[in-house]
Chain A
Amino acid sequence: MVANVETIDQVRAVTEQKYKYGFFTNIETETAPKGLNEDIIRFISAKKNEPTWLLEWRLKAYRHWLTMAEPNWAKVGYPPIDYQDAYYYSAPKMKEKPKSLDEVDPELLRTYEKLGIPLREQELLAGVEKPAVAVDAVFDSISVATTFKAKLQEYGVIFCSISEAVEKHPDLVRQYLGSVVPYSDNFFATLNSAVYTDGSFVYVPPGVRCPMELSTYFRINAENTGQFERTLIIADAGSYVSYLEGCTAPMRDENQLHAAVVELVALDDAQIKYSTVQNWYPGDAEGRGGIYNFVTKRGACRGRASKISWTQVETGSAITWKYPSCILQGDSSIGEFYSVAITNNRQQADTGTKMIHLGRNTRSTIVSKGISAGRADNTYRGLVKIQPKADNARNYTQCDSLLIGDRCGAHTVPYIECRNRTASVEHEATTAKISEDQMFYCQQRGLSQEDAVSLIVNGFCKEVMKELPMEFAVEAQKLIGISLEGSVG
């Protein structure tokens, strides 16, 4: 109830400025020269003091990337990207690596304050009623701060930037990096493998239930810069971790590229819950500017009875190309995918999931809600694959699309490949619009047209929203209202 009132307030509050994260932080940065070549990759690697094996891995990826063609099967259209016309490294200037938050540029801290991301632990602790969330803040190409490291260390949980992990836990990184998404996986993942700059690293030791939510906040700030982050999360046997990801960028007329890779590994009985609220700048009403979000996310349920759950709320980006997937290797492992994708104006989203059933008694659930408004296109594209050895595998898929206005598109493209008779695969999809009756009911009770839409859409997405951690759910509800603003009437 409270949330709904807040949503309404929020919608009102942003009538003037629709994308409130569209500001730019004027901060001195250090950038690599424009363009992409082996020297740039060596530069990035040297900046990060990387071991030789990692540099070799990057170069191997880069050389492979040169032989690859950009994929064109997704239902998205955009002018060709000039990969030489972008900066691949941009970092806020810092004298030395800051030892504490006091040494971090205050301008940076103010940026995160404006974004509503607390980087000061005491502030968090002061608010007793709020559960603590550990945050890794990534600004353009580097991680600027990670909170609650000490507290997490007590439990043996490693939470740091991936650059730091390469230095401090090279064995873990070397063992798992690229083990779920190999360097040759696809065009954008291969590009990422070559030029990734930072991201988060999480390791949860056996039997540990991570005491707080872990979170990474990605911020693109610099102009003409691509963000290529890489996240690696390993949940060792019997552990549990819930991880949140948020992202924003300034409003600009140019398109910026974001090509991230996320790898999850769950060992025996481990559970990973990965939630995303993606709110990159979507471009203006005419489709100028916005982030190109080409992301490869994949989790491997390696151990028996392991579980990986993806929840995403996609409201931002000019183009979204993203298929968080689960490889269900371990017997009795579980994969879940809950998604809300909202496109308005000229946004294009082609998103879905892949559930690859390899082990016995594996189960997967897919719930996807696509909402399309304005002149946007929203596509669900998913694969459910049951391999011959996946006895008694189960899948349930539900894809619902909601169209608001008659100039948008909603598409459903599921692929179902079943090679085991004991498996049971079910797919259902519906497409509808907000009915006049629903609108009339709400408006007759005094809600404005926009509040009514927000309320109905939130109801439509409820099955997914309830999977989000509480703090995120509130934010996501507000976002839905804001994203659809101006779509009716």
Chain B
Amino acid sequence: MATDLATVASPPPATPVERFRLHPRPNSGTGLRWLNDLREAGLDRFGRLGFPPARSEAWKYTSLRALETLPLEPVAASDRLIAPSAYAPLPLPPELNRSRLVFVDGVFDPAQSRTAALPAGVVLAPLRQVLAERSDLAEAHLGRIAEGEGQAFISLNTAFVDDGAVLHIPDGVDLETPVELVFVGHAGDRPLVWHPRILVVAGAGSRATVIEHHAGVGGASYLANGVTELALGRGARLNHYRAQRESLQAHHMAMVTAHLAQDAYYDNFVLSEGAKLSRNQIHCVLNGSGVTCRINGAYMVRGRQHCDTATFIDHAYPHCASREVYKGAIDNQARAVFQGKIMVRPDAQKTDGYQLNRALLLSEHAEIDSKPELEIYADDVKCSHGATAGDLDADCLFYLMARGIDRDSARGLLIGAFLNEAVDEMEHEAARDGFRTLVADWLKGR
């Protein structure tokens, strides 16, 4: 039979870049030229960059080859109609009054969301709504904080930026009720991808607490490619916490960029326990003197999970302090990666920088790759970092067992205490208690 060339289906695109080009462009904010330009520029940059190559320094210990071959598809309207099965909510005290925005597979779900009474001028809304009603707000900040240059996943997110959460707090406003942002991944029969965007603009002297909760339902495989942009004005104070509990087949990217103005106070904590492959990337730019930047976290992984943490604290002005404590427990054949960098630029005198990464290897096949890095160009600074890796201290274990506690319980106690040392860095008490519960729950699953 003669082959009719026209009927031969063209082969599926080989590279992720080509595949993403076929994804439909988002339909939100139509008519906003700046948004269209932003997306096109993002797609162009992603086209140039592609997924980070193996052996690139920023992704030295994390292979994206499996993700690259995954035939990811965009979320279709039919997917959104499925009601989310009950995901485990974040164990926060029930009496804690809070606003909540829920996103299912990256799309805002008004049925599950509720907004507490907000002070005048505060905007808390899904991005699609902001693009429709207050596009000036988005235009002023969207894509201006997160830098796409050399950041393939940020560019990819920008290319398809559509929904997500926007929180805008005017100068001097104290947002007493915490904001909970819930992202539920529950994709079904085929691997989906979505690109949630979070934008928080905290005016001068404002105060707020944002708690992100990323939950997965079932064993779905998907890529949640999130980007968070934060701008803290002078003297603003933001608590920003994330519990990452994606499905164990999921790929989770969280690229956070924070611009901190003079005297701003930023308290960040990330707890990673979900996802097959996760990347927690935080880039803080200290844009004025007197800034305090706290980036802490804990990771608990098992099975064949891969958890990558990459932080960069850029001290550009004098008299700033940064503190970073990351602790992790790695079980089975799981692998954790920590790359933390502190940069002190020439004029950033009197910088106080501290960084610590400690990892517990709980099984003979667990692996930790750690790269704490200091790059310092100012002389009158106090900077130190430390890193350790190894098993639990045998003496501590002996101490507990000598008092009649069996080995497993004793190990559990010690691992819990080890991880909670990082959790205790969180400054918001109710959130801290919730995260401690997550640690305890994870230990029960041992």
User: Could you say which residues of chain B place their CB within 8 Å of the CB of A160?
Assistant: none
Q: Quick one: CB contact mask for A204-242 with B, threshold 8 Å, 1 for yes? A: 000000000000000000000000000000000000000
Contact of B373 among A386, A412, A418, A426 (CB under 8 A): A412
Q: Is the CB of B389 within 8 A of A423?
A: yes
The distance from the CB of B287 to the nearest CB of chain A, in whole angstroms, is 20
Q: Is the CB of A416 within 8 A of B371?
A: yes
A343 to B365, CA, bound (A): 42
Task: Give the contacts of B372-398 with A (CB-CB under 8 A).
Answer: 372-391
User: Could you say which residues of chain B place their CB within 8 Å of the CB of A404?
Assistant: 379
Q: Is the CB of B370 within 8 A of A416?
A: yes
User: Could you say which residues of chain A place their CB within 8 Å of the CB of B377?
Assistant: 407-409
* B409 at the A interface (CB under 8 A): no
A418 to B381, CA, bound (A): 31
The distance from the CB of B373 to the nearest CB of chain A, in whole angstroms, is 5
B353 to A, closest residue via Cβ: A431
The binding surface of chain A is classed by DSSP as strand
The binding surface of chain B is classed by DSSP as strand
User: Could you say which residues of chain A place their CB within 8 Å of the CB of B369?
Assistant: 415-418
* B366 at the A interface (CB under 8 A): yes
Q: Is the CB of B384 within 8 A of A431?
A: yes
Q: Is the CB of A403 within 8 A of B372?
A: no
User: Could you say which residues of chain A place their CB within 8 Å of the CB of B383?
Assistant: 430-431
* A401 at the B interface (CB under 8 A): yes
Contact of B367 among A417, A426, A427 (CB under 8 A): A417
A73 to B373, CA, bound (A): 14
* A469 at the B interface (CB under 8 A): no
User: Could you say which residues of chain A place their CB within 8 Å of the CB of B379?
Assistant: 403-406, 408, 433
Report the count of interface residues on A (CB-CB < 8 A): 35
Contact of A420 among B361, B370, B382 (CB under 8 A): B361
User: Could you say which residues of chain A place their CB within 8 Å of the CB of B346?
Assistant: 406-407
Q: Quick one: CB contact mask for A409-440 with B, threshold 8 Å, 1 for yes? A: 11111111111111111111111110000000
* A388 at the B interface (CB under 8 A): yes
Q: Is the CB of B380 within 8 A of A433?
A: yes
Task: Give the contacts of A430-484 with B (CB-CB under 8 A).
Answer: 430-433
- What is the interface residue range for chain B against chain A? 35 or more
User: Could you say which residues of chain B place their CB within 8 Å of the CB of A425?
Assistant: 387-390
User: Could you say which residues of chain B place their CB within 8 Å of the CB of A409?
Assistant: 375-377
Contact of A415 among B371, B378, B381, B390 (CB under 8 A): B371
Q: Is the CB of A427 within 8 A of B380?
A: no
* B363 at the A interface (CB under 8 A): yes
User: Could you say which residues of chain B place their CB within 8 Å of the CB of A406?
Assistant: 346, 349, 378-380
* B130 at the A interface (CB under 8 A): no
B358 to A, closest residue via Cβ: A426
Using A406-B349, A417-B367, A421-B391 as known contacts, say yes or no to A429 and B361 having CB atoms under 8 A apart.
no
Using A425-B390, A428-B386, A430-B383 as known contacts, say yes or no to A414 and B362 having CB atoms under 8 A apart.
no
User: Could you say which residues of chain A place their CB within 8 Å of the CB of B380?
Assistant: 406, 433
User: Could you say which residues of chain A place their CB within 8 Å of the CB of B391?
Assistant: 421-422, 424
Q: Is the CB of A427 within 8 A of B387?
A: yes
User: Could you say which residues of chain A place their CB within 8 Å of the CB of B390?
Assistant: 418, 421-425
* B364 at the A interface (CB under 8 A): yes
Using A406-B346, A411-B373, A421-B361 as known contacts, say yes or no to A431 and B381 having CB atoms under 8 A apart.
yes
Q: Is the CB of B386 within 8 A of A421?
A: no
B61 to A, closest residue via Cβ: A417
* B368 at the A interface (CB under 8 A): yes
Q: Is the CB of A429 within 8 A of B349?
A: no
A416 to B367, CA, bound (A): 10
* B57 at the A interface (CB under 8 A): yes
A419 to B367, CA, bound (A): 5
User: Could you say which residues of chain B place their CB within 8 Å of the CB of A413?
Assistant: 371, 373-374
The distance from the CB of B128 to the nearest CB of chain A, in whole angstroms, is 43
Q: Is the CB of A416 within 8 A of B384?
A: no
The distance from the CB of B72 to the nearest CB of chain A, in whole angstroms, is 30
Q: Is the CB of A418 within 8 A of B389?
A: yes
A344 to B235, CA, bound (A): 39
A418 to B335, CA, bound (A): 10
Task: Give the contacts of B179-227 with A (CB-CB under 8 A).
Answer: none
A430 to B372, CA, bound (A): 12
The distance from the CB of A380 to the nearest CB of chain B, in whole angstroms, is 9
13 extra A-B contacts, CB within 8 A, seeds A417-B367, A426-B387: A406-B379, A408-B379, A412-B385, A418-B359, A418-B370, A421-B363, A421-B391, A423-B361, A424-B391, A430-B384, A431-B376, A432-B382, A433-B380
Closest 3 CB pairs between A and B?
Answer: A403-B379, A421-B361, A424-B390
Binding site for B on A (CB under 8 A): 73, 386, 388, 401, 403-433
Binding site for A on B (CB under 8 A): 57, 61, 346, 349, 359, 361-391
6 A-B pairs, CB-CB below 8 angstroms?
A404-B379, A407-B377, A415-B370, A416-B369, A423-B361, A424-B389
